[in-house]
Amino acid sequence: MPAREYRGRVVTLNDEGFLVDSSQWTPDVAEAIAEEVGLPPLTDRHWQVISFCREDAAREGQPPGLRRISKMAGVTTKELYELFPKGPGKLAARVAGLPKPQGCV
């Protein structure tokens, strides 16, 4: 598994770029991953989704999928696609330091 340094913090990634150990995640790591994948600077709305994903994954034992995020995080599906284009469930999980959600290709 490859290691990667984000803003001075070394993390372990899987082959798809997801953190292997979510405890290695920090907000700085999230911002660096967001830059790496081409997202604009993270806004309060991005952080709302990221925080929801991390809290929900801690409760449920797995990262939330797109439908769960749009129903429970206070953002519409359309807004999720604006915030995290090209696969918002997968991209939000990656920035949040979580594994790829089940059902994401």
Confidence of residue 101 (pLDDT cuts 50, 70, 90): confident
| Cβ-proximal residues to 15 (8 Å cutoff; 6+ apart), any chain | 1, 2
* Tokens 């330091």 found at: 97
Q: Look at residue 103 in the predicted model and tell me its pLDDT.
A: 65
Measured CA distances, 47 to 16, 78, 93, 103 (Å): 22, 17, 12, 23
The reported pTM is 0.93
How many angstroms separate the CA atoms of 49 and 83, rounded?
9
Is 104 noted as a catalytic residue in this protein? yes
Question: Strand pairing partners for 12?
Answer: 3
Answer whether residue 105 shows pLDDT above 70.
no
How many angstroms separate the CA atoms of 88 and 68, rounded?
12
Please provide the size of the chain in residues.
105
Catalytic residue among 24, 68, 100, 104: 104
